[in-house]
A = this chain, B = another copy of it.
């Protein structure tokens, strides 16, 4: 059993990373999203990164070859952020109140990236409704000298179908 000092440290592309650092990154992102700070959110992505949400029947296929909920390359990600910042994104104006719980965070070296999995619950209050989105993150993070960056941000829903009123007009 390793001594505690180094316990749980993963080294990727010369960066020694602990779970705590990954958690801090994900917690910061959650606060940024709940505060609707979309420019700051974009800054958490590496150039050319992707944002994906497969459908609820997802069985591991490529989103290039299947239907999905979100299949954003970096250009679409920019368009999505621009939309969300617009007063005319009616589905999110007024903004949803969101609240995020991120737990069961695990990190693994994956070539030059960090593969991160976590459980999430996102609560969303709007129009007198209170919706709950349950799922799992399967991200690829890029360690840089300025900290971690998203290379692939993927949210996989546990639901069998999006429940009534649920939509992915905000960032899951």
Contact = CB atoms under 8 A, between A and B. Distances in A.
A146 B18 CA distance: 21
Interface residues of A, number: 49
Copies in the complex: 3
Contact of A7 (B20, B117, B126, B158): B20
A130 to B, nearest CB: 6
Interface of A: 1, 3-9, 15-21, 24, 27-28, 30-31, 97-106, 117, 119, 121, 123, 125-126, 128, 130, 134-136, 143, 145, 147, 158-161, 163
26 contacts: A4-B5, A4-B9, A4-B18, A7-B18, A7-B21, A8-B20, A8-B21, A19-B20, A20-B20, A24-B106, A27-B105, A30-B104, A30-B119, A99-B134, A99-B136, A99-B158, A100-B119, A101-B101, A101-B121, A102-B103, A121-B121, A123-B158, A125-B159, A125-B160, A126-B160, A130-B159
B16 A1 contact: yes
Contact of A106 (B28, B98, B101, B147): B28
B128 A134 contact: no
Nearest to A147: B1
